[in-house]
């Protein structure tokens, strides 16, 4: 489509101190339409590290913005995301 620019996928990571009652990670996925308007927001809590990693990778690959709130090491997680993309 002429005049349309691809938007960059954004990944934001917030790190917190571990809490007994908190999930491994809470992730908010934001999807956009062709005009860049938000069309869907989902939030998912993860307990399994492998499942969390695979879901985040899939979202990034599909161009979905990802906001991660976790007690995992943010630097390590950022390196993994950079490696995946």
Query: Do the domain assignments include residue 5?
Result: no
Per-residue confidence at 6, pLDDT binned at 50, 70, 90?
low
What does the alpha-carbon distance between residue 12 and residue 32 come to, in Å, rounded to a whole number?
A: 16
CB 74 within 8 A of CB 50: no
Q: Is residue 4 part of a domain?
A: no
Crossing angle of helices 74-84 and 49-61, rounded to 10°: 50
Q: Is the pLDDT reported for residue 7 higher than 80?
A: no
Q: What totals of helices (H) and strands (E) does the chain contain, helices first?
A: 2, 4
Residue 25's domain comprises 11-84
70 located within any domain: yes
| Euclidean distance between CA atoms 13 and 25, whole angstroms | 10
Does the pTM of the predicted model rise above 0.75? yes
Residue 3 forms part of a structural domain: no
Does residue 60 form part of some domain? Answer: yes
Task: Classify residue 51: in a domain, yes or no.
Answer: yes
Q: Which of 9-13, 17-21, 44-48, 80-84 has the lowest mean pLDDT?
A: 80-84
State how far the Cα of 24 lies from the Cα of 69, in Å rounded to an integer: 9
**Model confidence band, residue 72 (pLDDT cutoffs 50, 70, 90):** very high
- With respect to residue 64, please indicate whether it lies within any of the assigned structural domains: yes
Angle, alpha carbons 9-30-16 (nearest 5°): 90
Number of separate domains in the chain? 1
């Amino acid at each position: 489509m002429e005049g349309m620019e691809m938007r960059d996928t954004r990944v934001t990571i917030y790190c917190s101190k571990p809490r007994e009652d908190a999930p491994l990670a809470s992730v908010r996925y934001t999807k956009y339409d062709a005009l860049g308007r938000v069309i869907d927001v989902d939030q998912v809590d993860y307990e399994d590290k492998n499942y969390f990693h695979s879901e985040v990778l899939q979202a990034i690959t599909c161009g979905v913005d990802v906001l991660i709130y976790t007690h995992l090491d943010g630097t390590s997680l950022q390196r993994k995301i950079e490696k995946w993309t």
